[in-house]
Each structure stands twice: as C-alpha cells, then as structure tokens.
Amino acid sequence: MSEKKNDQLAADTENTAAADSNKKPKQEKHIDPAAAAAKAEKKRFNKRKFRYGGAATAITVIVIVVVVLVNVVLSVLSERMNMSIDITADKTFEISQESIDYLATVNEPVEIVCMSDELEFSTSNYVYFKQAYEVLKKYTIYSDNVTLTFVDMTENPTYANKYQELYKGDISEYSIVVSTDKRIKVLSIQDLYNVEMNNYYQQTITSSKAEQELTSAIMYVTDPDPMNAVFFKSETGGSSYDNVYNMLSSNGYNVSEINPLVDTIPEDADLIVINAPLNDYDEELVQKLYDFLDNNGQLGRNLIYIADYSQNSTANIDAFLAEWGISVGSGVVGDSNMNNTSSASSYVIGNYINTADNEYAANVSDPSLPVLSYYARPITLAFDTKDNRRATALITTDDTAFVLTDELQAALQNGENVEPEYASYTTMAIGSKYVFNDANETVFSNVLVVGSSAMLDKGITEKTYYNNGDYFVSTLNEMTGKTVGISIVAKDLTTKTFEMTQSIYNTCFVTFVIIVPLAVLVCGIVVYLRRRHK
C-alpha cells in the first residue's frame, strides 16, 4: 500500500515538473509613457467636453425659457399698458389725452362687451374694425375700472339676455354694450363711424368717431344723474342740427326729440335745443318756453337757441330773447381787416376767446385756437346786468367788423358810395336769470344764443385747429352745471393704413410664435450634439 502511494506521488511530481517546463517564462509588462499621457489627456478632455457641453445646453435651455417668459410677460403687460406705437398722422389707433384724463376719474366698474369673436373682429379685412378694436383696448389700458370682453353670439346666443332688465332694444352681432350696475348704453358698429355719400349714392366711411361714442357711453353709464336734452324738431334753414344732436349725445347728455307743435315738453327735461327754425313760433309755444325756464319759480333750466341768416322773420322768438337781454339782428357779420378773417371770405371771422375771467372757457384745451363765426348774424346785448338777470358776450369781433345787411348789399350793387358801420359785434352770447333757493344757493336758468348754425357745422367742429366744438361743449357744460364733458375730434380713415388680414395674421403667428422658437431650439440641440461627439 505504501509502495502504491509512493509511486503515485512520484508520478504527480513528474507531471508537475513537466507542466512547469512547458510554461513560457513570465515577461515583465512595459508601459509607454507617451501613450499613457495621451490616454490621460483624452480622459481629461472628455470630462471638459462634457462640462462645456452641459453648460452650453444649460445656457440654451435658459435662453429659451427667458424668451418664453419675456413673451408671456409682454403679453400680460400689453393688456394693462400701452406698449404699441401709433405712427399714423392723427393717431388713428390711439385715444386723446382728454379721454385718458377722463378715464382717470372713473371710480366704478364699467363693463364693455363686444358681441363678436375677438379674433374675427381684430383681424377683419376692414381697417375700421381694426381701428375700433385698438381703440376699445385702450380703455382697459388707461383705467383699471374698465373691462373689455368679447362674446361670440353664435356660440353664446343667450348672453344678451342678462341686459333685459336695463335695456329693451335689440342687441345683435357686433353690438357694443357699455354698462354699469345702474345704466346701460348699446352702440352698433355703424355708430362708430362717419359716412358720406358720393354723387353715385355710394356710402363711404370717412372717419371714426369710436372714441367719441365710447367715451360718451362711459360718461352716460357712470353719471348718477344725466342731463336730459330735448331737441325741437322743425323746418330749419341751418346745417348743424344732426351735429349738435350728436355733440350732446357724445358728451353724456340723454338726448331726445319732440315736435313742439303737438308734443308737450317732458317734465324731466333739463335742456331745450332750438336749431335755426325757418319760421316763427306762435305765442302759445313761446309761453311754453317761458314756463319751462321759470320752472315754477325754481329755475335750474337751460335753453340753446341757434340762429341763422337763412331764417324768415321771427318776431315772437325775438321778443322772448329780449327778455334775456339778447337781440339777434339781420345781416351777416364781416370784417374789413383780412388778418381777422379765414380764407378769402370777409364773412368768416376768426375770433379768439377772451379767457380773462371767462368761466365758460375753463374746459377748453387750447384757448389760443380761433372760433370761426361763419356767416353769423350780429347779436346785441340790451344790458350787462338788470335786476336778477345778466347778459354776457362770449364771442366778439374786433372793432373793424361790419354787418352786411340786405339794404347795404343792394346799395353797393347799385354803385352807391356807402360806408358800413364799423364796430365790435357779438356772435355768441348767454343770458341768465337767477334766484336763491332755500339753502341760500344761487340757481340759474340760462339761454345760450349762437349767431350762426354753420358755426356748429360738423365740418368746423371736428377740425382740431378751430375751437368751435371745444368752446361750445365747454360753455354748454358750464351753463348746465355738468362738470365732465370733452370735445373729441373724429379720426380720418381715408388715408392709407397697413391692414393685417387673416392670412397675414396667420403667417406672422406661425413665423414668430412657432417657427422662430423651434429654430432656436433645433440650433441649440445641433450645437449640443456636435460638441458632445467631438
């Protein structure tokens, strides 16, 4: 047994020795210093590339986030701040400083609701829709108390039912509803524009009165006790009836019309407007005017009488005006000093407002502008003060003026050597009567007389370089005790403007909202990938 173990041990020893003899001798590992250095440098470069690539990616992401945030912030700010620049000549898409100043006084919530889809309204092919849209937005920018909402009546046909309690008329597509919790005014899209008809009976929109109508609507719905003005409808020789009506309506007066020959004067009327009646009133109607202004001895009523050189004899009306210290003569006022006239006509006088102690000019924005007395009849004052009455000249000419009467014109045409009477003539005046009420406060009734209907024609009152409209509104509001009122000039829409159609809007939207941000993102990704694989 021991012999077998010894043999086995000898065999294992022999096999082990043979295996060792077959192994190759172990060689010592050789390290190349240059290769090792290159490998280490590559490792450091990969770390640096990763670090720089990560930084570039982070910067790209941050830039994209910042761009998105800036767009969001600007979008929000544009709803509350005027961030647009109107480069049109007369600031067609802006509102006037007068409206901005008025909006600063609005201290109760006013809701403006446009019954239209906003996108369709703002991108219409018609420039006047775009102009109205931009003007509408300005009211919310300049007043925190004014909100603007667009309601698509196709999708929400019953929305207008909420106004049934305050408004009984029709509210249709594109109606603009201006409301507070106590009063409402509804405008149609046609109310926002002046339209003229050419020789072919084609209507053309010439100017925008969107600001006039919207500011007036806000005045009306926020006025706790609006003035009620009543127009006497009659055959007239004047040209300003509609314009005076619109001027009162645009300045917050609640305006209506009556036929004085058959209708009674409403008990709640504060103001009567008589615009150049062609023929005289009978004694019964004149007595109604006396009774209206007397107001059972309490006064507090007002009347506007607009004369015109085209009128026939008005003896009864003249006798009524004389009670207020005012007489309207015949003929037309002219001026021999051409420096005082407008254009080439001696009968269009460019008067300037005397602002010294003139309470009626208090709200005129620029008193240095002239007031045109366009073919005005001369006004004479019978007294300055008399008992509890007073008469005040509001517009007067220089002493180089004269009156062209029918008699003088006939003498001149016959070649007679006649000289007109040069003097200072009045073309606008006011007569007042006052009493003291129970609180010992002075209460007035007033009669404002304008020497010419043409002085209040739309072609003059809408011109920014004349004061006819501004001074008339200022006088009217001072006379009636209405503290807020502004004269706003219509914006010309006949000039060529840039119109953004729906297709242009879509192109701009896709380009600047989708393509440009995606291009920036793709460029960032490409730069990142290129740097990563370098």
DSSP characters over 290-313: HHHHHGGGT---EEEEE--TT---
Q: Which CATH architecture has domain 95-224?
A: 3-Layer(aba) Sandwich (3.40)
Distance CA 490, CA 124 (A): 21
Give residue 53's identity as a one-letter amino acid code: G
Q: Choose among 281, 291, 287: nearest CA to 317.
A: 281
CA distances from 107 to 110, 136, 218, 362, 438 (A): 9, 19, 11, 23, 32
Q: Choose among 386, 246, 253, 237: nearest CA to 313.
A: 237
CA distances from 437 to 124, 297, 440 (A): 57, 10, 5
Distance CA 280, CA 283 (A): 9
Q: What angle is formed at CA 339 by the lines to CA 338 and CA 342, rounded to 5 degrees?
A: 75
Q: Which residues, at least 6 apart from 213, have a Cβ–Cβ distance to it below 8 Å?
A: 187, 191, 192, 250
CATH level 3 topology of 226-491: Rossmann fold (3.40.50)
Contact 356, 421 (CB under 8 A): no
Alpha helices in 149-209 (DSSP H): none
**Which residue's entry shows tokens 């008990």?**
267
Q: Choose among 351, 307, 343, 283: nearest CA to 449.
A: 307
Residue 302 phi/psi, 5° resolution?
-140, 155
Distance CA 368, CA 358 (A): 14
> What are the extents of the domains in the chain?
41-88+497-534, 95-224, 226-491
Number of H helices, E strands in the chain: 14, 21
Q: Which residues, at least 6 apart from 428, have a Cβ–Cβ distance to it below 8 Å?
A: 371, 373, 376, 379, 393, 394, 395, 448, 449, 450, 451, 455, 475
Residues β-bridged to residue 328: 379
Give residue 349's identity as a one-letter amino acid code: I
Quick one: DSSP state of residue 332? E
Mean pLDDT by 10 residues, the chain (534 residues): 52 55 53 60 56 65 76 57 52 79 91 90 74 89 92 89 80 90 85 71 73 86 86 84 86 88 93 95 96 95 96 96 96 91 82 83 83 94 94 94 89 82 94 92 96 92 85 92 66 56 70 81 78 67
Say how many residues make up the chain: 534
The token duo for 35 is 């290769």
Distance CA 384, CA 82 (A): 50
- What is the structure's pLDDT at 514? 82
- The angle, 0 to 180 degrees and rounded to 10, between the axes of the packed helices 33-80 and 127-142 is 90
Give residue 121's identity as a one-letter amino acid code: F
Contact 276, 247 (CB under 8 A): no
Distance CA 425, CA 398 (A): 8
Quick one: DSSP state of residue 373? E
- What is the structure's pLDDT at 529? 76
**Which residue's entry shows tokens 């761009």?**
67
Strands in 151-202 per DSSP E? 176-179, 184-187, 193-197
- What is the structure's pLDDT at 3? 53
426-436 and 442-450 beta bridge pairing: antiparallel
